[in-house]
Chain A
C-alpha cells in the first residue's frame, strides 16, 4: 500500500541531491579539483568550505530514505521472495556512507588552522579517493540490478523494460572511477574527464529514472488499495 510518507521519502532523494550540489557549489567543489591542487585551495577557503560541506552532508543524509524506497519497490514487485530488496538495502547503506564520509574527512582536513600541509593533503586525498571509490559498489549493485531486471522481465513487470538497460549502461559508464584511487593525472584521475566525468554524468539519468519509477509505483499502489490497517485502527 502507498502512504504519503513513502512519497516524501522518494522526493527527498532528488531534493537531497539538489541540496548537496548547492553545498558543493558554496564550497567551490562542484567539480573535483585536480590532485595537484595546492592544499591552500582547501585551507585558504576554509569558511566557505565548512559551510558548503555542512549543507552537502545534510543533503547526502537524505539518500537514506530514498534507498529504503528503492528496496521497497523490489519487495512490491516480488514479495518476500525478493533477495534484491536486501541487495538494495545493503547498497543503500554503503552508498550513504561513501557519500557522507568523504565530506567528514574534508571537514577534518580544514578543521584546525595551522595543521601541517602534509596532514591536510593526506585527509584531502583520502576524501577524494573514497568519494571516487563509491564506484566499486555502485557498479556492482547497479549492474547486477540491471541484469536481473532484464533477465526477469516478466516477473518484474511493474518496472518498465528500459529501466534494466538503463541500469546496465549507467553501471558500465561508472567503471572508469575504479582508477581514481591509483592515477594522479590525466583523464583517469579523480577529476579526470573519464574517471570523474562519466560516472558523475551518468549518475543523474540513473537517479532520476528510478525516482520517476518509484513515484509511478506509489501512484499505482494508491490507486489499487484502500485505507491502511494502522490508520484504520486495526
Chain B
C-alpha cells in the first residue's frame, strides 16, 4: 500500500493534466482573455475540473509518504515529518480550491461577466498563490536535508540541492497576484513557466527517492 500511495503522486499529476487538457486550460490563459473563453467552454471546463480535482486529491497519500520518509530518515528526531504533513495538507487545499473556483465561475449560465471574471481571477491568483507556502517549505526541506542528513542513505544530498533550486525557481510565482501584463502574469513565461517546469523534477525526484526508500531494509538509516 505504501508503494501505491507513492505512485498516486505522479498518477494524480497525470490525471490533473488530462483534466486541464479537457478543460482547455493546459496552459494558463492570458489575464486579458474574455470571460466568454470560460463561459462558452462551460461543459468542457466542468468535465475537466471534475477530472483535475480527482487527480489533485491523489497528492494526499503521496505527501503522507513524504512525511513518512523524513520520519524514517531521522527517526522522529526533528519536527520535519510534522512539517511535511502540514505542508501536504496546505498543498492539497491550494491545488483543489482554484479548481472549485473555476467550477463556480462557470456554474450558472447567465451569471454577470464581472462576477465570472472575479472568480476566474481568484482561481488563477490562488493557483500560484500556493507558491508562498511551497517556496518556504521546499527551501527549508532542502536545507534540512543538506544540514541535518549529510550521510543519509535515505535522503541523498542531491535531493537537498534539488529542493533548494526548485524553491528558488518557483519564486517568480509570488508576483502573479499583482502583474496584469508581461512575463510575471499568471500565464507569463517567468511567473507561470518557471514554477510549473520546476515542479516536475521535484515531484519525479521525490517519487524516485520514496520508492527507493521502500526497497531499503527498515534498519538502515
Contacts and interface: CB of A to CB of B under 8 A. Distances in A.
B89 interface: yes
A66 B191 CA distance: 28
Contacts of A50: 177-178
- Most-contacted residue by chain B among A8, A50, A228, A230 (CB, 10 A): A230
| Closest 4 A/B residue pairs (Cβ) | A72-B79, A233-B151, A68-B83, A107-B177
A116 B129 contact: no
A67 to B, nearest CB: 6
Given A62-B136, A64-B87, A96-B86, A107 B79 contact: no
Interface of B: 31, 73-80, 82-83, 85-87, 89-90, 93, 114-115, 117-118, 121-122, 125-126, 129, 132-133, 135-137, 140, 143-144, 147-152, 174-175, 177-178, 180, 221
Contacts of A69: 79, 82
Contacts of A93: 86, 89-90, 93
A71 interface: yes
B177 A64 contact: no
Contacts of B125: 104, 107-108, 111
Interface in A55-69: 57-58, 60-62, 64-65, 67-69
A84 B217 CA distance: 31
B73 to A, nearest CB: 6
A164 interface: no
- Summarize A's interface: helix, strand, loop or mixed: helix
Contacts of A111: 121, 125, 177-178, 180
Contact of A8 (B132, B140, B150, B152): B140
A123 B133 CA distance: 22
7 contacts: A54-B178, A68-B82, A69-B82, A75-B76, A92-B86, A229-B221, A231-B150
Contacts of B76: 75
B177 A89 contact: no
Given A57-B129, A65-B136, A231-B149, A119 B118 contact: yes
Contacts of B89: 93
Interface string A130-172: 0000000000000000000000000000000000000000000
